Structure formats: C-alpha cells, structure tokens
Amino acid sequence: MLIGISGMISSGKSTLTKKLHQHYTSSIMLEEFEENNVVFNTFLEWLYHKEPNLTMGFQTYVVENHTTKLSEIIQKFRSLGKNFKNDHIFLDRFSIEHYIFANVNLRPKGESYLNGYDALFSHLITKEETPDLAIYLDMSYATFEKRLFERGRKVEIENYKNNIDYFKTLYHLYKDLFQKQAQKYNLNYVIINTDNLNEEEVFKKAIEIIDSFDLNKVDRK
C-alpha cells in the first residue's frame, strides 16, 4: 500500500514513518525533506520570520516537487518487483499536508487568493499520489507545545513567541482541513490520539491499523 502519515507539526510523523519502514522490511520510504534540505529550511526561515515569499508560486513548487519525488519512488518500487498488496511505500508527509500549510499560509492574502490555490491544487493532485491509507496522529495543543520544545528545532524554538498566533491557527485548522480533504479525495484514514501514548505505543497501534486494513480497498496496480 501507499501509506501516508499525517498530523500537526511535532506529532511524531517522521519518527513513526521511520519505525514502520524498519518494521516492514520490504517497504520503501519517501523522506521528502531531510533536516539539511535547503528548500525545507528556506521555507521555515521565510515562514517564521514572516517573509512575503510564501506565494502561490512557492506553494505550487512544493506540491510539484512532492509529486515528482513520489512518482520516482513509485517507479523504483515497481522496478524492484514489489506490489501494493504485499509491500508498502511510507510517506512522512503527502499532498494533503502541503495543502493544509498552503491554506493557512495564504489566508492573509484573502479569500479570492485562497480560492485560486484551491482550484490550482485540484489540478495538481493525481489519484496515484493519494495514499491508500493515511494514519493521522492527533494531539492536544499542550502536547504539541511540549513536543515542539522537546525536539528542539532551532528555528522553531527561537521564533516560537513571535509565531504563537500562527501555531494556534495552524493547530485549530489542521485536523478539520485534513478531514475535509480526505473526504474530497476519498481517502481512507484512521486517527490515533497520541496524547497519552509514547512512541512505541503509537508504533504498535499503527501496525495494528496497517495489518488489519482491508486490502480490497487497494485498487492500485
């Protein structure tokens, strides 16, 4: 299956994705942005320093970059003789994640701008890149805040106070936007409330979800 891991910043997406990739030994993982990725770090700098560069053009580039990398990894998956019934590709973020960030980041530009991005996004997204299953890692705002500081990403910590309104807006919109997009693109998803769970407990729940998923819902060739 193509499996996407979703959730707010610091929900544990990357950690869970890596653990699942290690557990399912025949799987492939798309790690779209590594910690030292120039585009990813430039995005964070612009975002947290409130630079005016987060335009529709930049957000479109992010989605197209994801689409290209995903297409390449699906080709690799097939060339290795793997199939979507028995093997998995894990994504630590996917197209709907990019839509959520773009929606929140472009809101200050007005409703017509947002509507324009919505229309553009609908044309950019293909059926092939929509996961067969998504696992959404949910948490309270207090848990988000705690985990954000625990992971210690410098640009987030140093700019937290100046961006607290942004983080609160993102948090309050994230799950709702995810569910609306999931419904729009007919995405199968399961929500795990991670507030009182450690990494290992979240990992075990994710395995249970994947192993019990009805493969008849996977029509990917």
12 is in an annotated binding site: yes
All structural domains of the chain, each given as residue ranges with its CATH number in brackets, are 2-217 (3.40.50.300)
150 is in an annotated binding site: yes
Which residues are catalytically annotated? 92
13 is in an annotated binding site: yes
Left, alpha or beta for 49 (phi > 0: left; psi -120 to 50: alpha)? alpha
Strands (E), 59-107: 89-91
- Is 125 strand, coil or helix? coil
- Is 33 strand, coil or helix? coil
For residue range 109-144, what is the model confidence (pLDDT) as tens digits? 888 888 888 888 888 888 888 999 999 999 999 999
14 is in an annotated binding site: yes
pLDDT score of 89 more than 80: yes
For residue range 16-44, what is the model confidence (pLDDT) as tens digits? 999 999 999 999 999 766 556 666 667 66
11 is in an annotated binding site: yes
Global pTM reads 0.90
pLDDT score of 67 more than 90: no
Cα–Cα distance list, 73 to 47, 48, 82, 131, 215 (Å): 28, 31, 12, 13, 21
